[in-house]
Amino acid sequence: MKRNILIHPDPRLKKVCAPVADLSDELRQLADDMLETMYDAPGIGLAAPQIGVLERLIVLDCVKEEGETPRPLVMFNPEVIASSDETNVYEEGCLSIPEQFAEVTRPKVVDVTWMDRDGNLRQETFDGLWATCVQHEIDHLNGKLFIDYLKPLKRQMITRKMQKLKRERARA
């Protein structure tokens, strides 16, 4: 089932999410709903707080080329355990901040651990867009948005645009 994506500003997008203790069918269904919501948007990632669930769960699939095999990843309790000194700049977007993009600098390569949807502990090194996206999604679990990396004036400008968008959507 497709879920509704929260738009910034929303207090739920500023919260630190709780670790997932035990996997359940309900959590697996939530992960499936998040993948459906992400592909429908369309997006390359989605974090549980973006649909109002304050638990440490993210999904991502950075395979963008049509005809390439999709690679959906479901990560419970993801953690960056090592980051490269080398950085990468990427023009990021966010499904909770529609149609706004800005350059963000992050470590180019990260090692991430997580629990997959079968309860297995996994570890993988991510580079390029995958590294950018997994860091963006883990930030969501800590109440941080990509606009928090921008200068205050630019952040305020984007926030005001989003307030206007929300007012317009509420009236429609």
163-166: list long-range contacts, CB under 8 Å, 24+ apart: 163/9, 165/7, 165/98, 166/7
The helix (run of H) or strand (run of E) holding residue 114 is strand 109-115
The minimum distance between CB 22 and ligand K1U, in angstroms, equals 25
Residues 129-148 that bind Zn ion (CB under 5 A): none
Rule CB under 5 A: choose which of 30, 94, 131, 134 binds Zn ion: 94
Site for ligand K1U (CB under 6 A): which residue of 45, 126, 147, 158?
45
Which element (helix H / strand E) includes 105?
strand 97-107
CA 171 vs CA 105, 165, 167: distances in Å: 37, 10, 6
Q: How far is the CB of 78 from Zn ion (least distance, A)?
A: 14
Taking the complex as a whole, how short is the minimal distance between the CB of residue 54 and ligand K1U, in angstroms?
15
Cα–Cα distance between 64 and 157 in angstroms, integer? Answer: 30
Under the binding rule (CB under 6 A), the answer on residue 64 touching ligand K1U is: yes
User: Dihedral through CA 98, CA 103, CA 108, CA 109, nearest 10?
Assistant: -20
Applying CB under 6 A, does 42 fall inside the site for ligand K1U? yes
State which of positions 79-118 bind ligand K1U (CB under 6 A). Answer: 90, 92-96
Catalytic residues: 137
Q: Would you put residue 119 in left (φ > 0), alpha (ψ -120 to 50) or beta?
A: left
Which of residues 21 and 158 has its CB atom nearest to ligand K1U in the complex?
Answer: 158
Strand partners, 133: none
Nearer to ligand K1U, 22 or 100 (CB): 100
**Closer CB to ligand K1U, residue 27 or residue 47?**
47
Residues in contact with Zn ion by CB under 5 A are 94
Residues of this chain that bind ligand K1U (CB under 6 A): 42-47, 64, 90, 92-96, 132-133, 136-137
